[in-house]
């Protein structure tokens, strides 16, 4: 079949961005591609009644930790980002087995991060570019992400992710037991509104500068009902009304001035939460600035948190750790990828992960 001919056109023929009511010609064009609606994907990849009940139980267990009714430590752990579903499932099977061994002292939740924030440009995650090649087949990415989250939840693990694009959240939020709002988006009104309608618990990270005030404001905002412009599950524009989500907490991830997991920083954050009338529950992200960008230091941060819990409680309800099948990271080169190695931040390997979580559980006993 011969390729169609494209006729030359004058500037007056340039496309416009809007309808006849707004004729301003743009300086550049924007291409659009249709996506399946959230309802369509949920129909293709449904959640059984049994799995829905299990996810509800996972959410309840996390809520009990946040409320102090369960004295186990919450551990959100897994790859910095998911790029290979096969490796992610192998990791999940190992984590599910480990979760049984430490379930008396640790509540393990798997990181299934399929969106990655970027300061400038770069690979944006499995949901956006599952081919890892810049083809950006987002329809395939959303399907792959939902299928993977469902498979991991069916193994008996609670699923956690960072929600970056609010419109993408509808495709898999029903599978989530815990949600992170990152340091770059905690200050965003759109993300606070989104969090106010989630059924999962939400951890707001302190800002990149290290200031906890933005996260505290986010928690206060998310606890209230909101009305905002959004998209319904059928794909149409809608006014979204939320009831508010009080199941939130602060995540300490350090800042430009260094770590903030030490006892003094934790005490300062606790006073700030109390002054705002919020429960003084906090999680420590053992990576990022708290590990000074050295993935091996995550274990030191983990045990510092455990020691603080043993000494005085301190309101520290959990930790986040970046861990994969094998230690370190690798360049994103689809032609030469090593199995089970991160393509974003460097991670702890499985042997270290298992050893350190068993040790943490033993200390907490």
Q: What is the pLDDT of residue 22?
A: 57
The three-state (H, E, C) secondary structure of the chain, written as one string: CCCCCCCCCCHHHCCCCCCCCCCCCCCCCCCCCCCCCHHHHHHHCCCCHHHHHHHHHHHHHHHHHHHCCCCCEEEEEECCCCCCHHHHHHHHHHHHHHHHHHCCCEEEEEECCCCCCCCCCCCCCCCCCCCCCCCCCHHHHHHHHHHHHHHHHHCCCCEEEECCCHHHHCCCHHHCCEEEECCCCCCCHHHHHHHCCCCCEEEEECCCCCCCHHHHHHHHHHCCCEEEEEECCCCCEEEEEECCCCCEEEEECCECCECCCCHHHHHHHHHHHHHCCCCCCEEEECCHHHHCCCHHHHHHHHHHHHHHHHHHCCCEEEEEEEECCCCEECCCCHHHCCCCCECCCCEECHHHHHHHHHHHHHHHC
Rg of the chain (C-alpha set) = 22
Angstrom distance (rounded) from CA 361 to CA 102: 6
Q: Is residue 199 within 8 Å of 59, Cβ to Cβ?
A: yes
In a domain, 23, yes or no: no
Q: What is the pLDDT of residue 12?
A: 41
Q: Is residue 95 within 8 Å of 108, Cβ to Cβ?
A: yes
In a domain, 283, yes or no: yes
In a domain, 18, yes or no: no
In a domain, 291, yes or no: yes
In a domain, 339, yes or no: yes
Domain count, the chain: 1
In a domain, 59, yes or no: yes
Q: The tokens 């993977």 sit on which residue?
A: 148
In a domain, 317, yes or no: yes
Angstrom distance (rounded) from CA 316 to CA 149: 27
Angstrom distance (rounded) from CA 217 to CA 187: 8
Q: Is residue 343 within 8 Å of 83, Cβ to Cβ?
A: yes
Angstrom distance (rounded) from CA 199 to CA 244: 10
Residue 317 in tokens:
């309800």
Its pTM stands at: 0.91
Mean pLDDT by 10 residues, the chain (365 residues): 39 43 65 93 97 98 96 97 98 98 98 89 94 96 98 98 95 97 96 98 95 97 97 89 97 95 95 96 96 96 96 88 98 95 98 98 96
Q: What is the pLDDT of residue 23?
A: 57
In a domain, 8, yes or no: no
Q: What is the pLDDT of residue 26?
A: 57
User: Which CATH number does the domain housing residue 47 bear?
Assistant: 3.20.20.70
Closest CA relative to residue 83, chosen from 111, 41, 105: 111
Can you give the residue range of the structural domain that contains 219? Answer: 34-364
Closest CA relative to residue 83, chosen from 141, 16, 158, 28: 141
Q: Is 94 buried (19+), middle (13-18) or exposed (0-12) by CB count in 10 A?
A: middle
Angstrom distance (rounded) from CA 354 to CA 322: 13
Q: The tokens 């390997």 sit on which residue?
A: 349
Task: Please state the length of the chain.
Answer: 365
Angstrom distance (rounded) from CA 318 to CA 105: 11
């Amino acid at each position: 079949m011969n390729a169609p001919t494209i006729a030359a056109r004058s500037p007056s023929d340039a496309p416009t961005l809007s309808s006849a009511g707004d004729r301003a010609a743009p300086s550049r064009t924007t291409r659009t591609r249709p996506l399946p609606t959230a309802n369509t994907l949920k129909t293709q990849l449904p959640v059984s009644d049994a799995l829905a009940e299990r996810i509800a139980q996972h959410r309840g267990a996390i809520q009990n930790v946040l409320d102090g009714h369960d004295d186990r430590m919450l551990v959100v752990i897994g790859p910095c980002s998911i790029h290979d579903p096969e490796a992610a499932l192998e990791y999940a099977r190992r984590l599910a087995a480990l979760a049984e061994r430490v379930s008396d002292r640790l509540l393990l939740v798997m990181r299934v991060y399929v969106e990655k924030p970027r300061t400038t440009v770069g690979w944006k995650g499995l949901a956006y570019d599952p081919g890892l090649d810049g083809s950006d087949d987002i329809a395939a990415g959303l399907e792959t992400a939902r299928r993977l989250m469902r498979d991991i939840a069916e193994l008996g693990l609670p699923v956690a992710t960072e929600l970056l694009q609010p419109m993408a959240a509808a495709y898999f939020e029903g599978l989530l037991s815990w949600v992170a709002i990152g340091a770059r988006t905690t200050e965003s009104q759109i993300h606070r509104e989104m969090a106010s309608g989630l059924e999962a618990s939400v951890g707001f990270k302190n800002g990149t500068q290290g200031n906890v005030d933005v996260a505290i404001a986010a928690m206060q905002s998310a606890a209230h009902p909101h009305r905002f412009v959004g998209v319904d599950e059928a794909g149409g524009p809608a006014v979204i009304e939320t009831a508010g989500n009080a199941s939130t907490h602060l995540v300490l991830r350090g800042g430009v001035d260094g770590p903030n997991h030490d006892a003094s920083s934790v005490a300062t954050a606790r006073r700030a939460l109390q002054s705002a009338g919020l429960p003084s529950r906090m999680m420590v992200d053992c990576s990022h600035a708290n590990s000074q960008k050295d993935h091996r230091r995550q274990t030191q941060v983990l045990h510092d948190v455990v020691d603080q819990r043993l000494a005085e409680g301190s309101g520290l309800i959990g930790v986040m750790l970046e861990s994969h099948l094998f230690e370190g990271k690798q360049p994103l080169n689809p032609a030469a990828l090593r199995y089970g190695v991160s393509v974003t931040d460097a991670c702890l390997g499985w042997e270290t992960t298992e050893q350190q979580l068993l040790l943490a559980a033993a200390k907490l006993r």
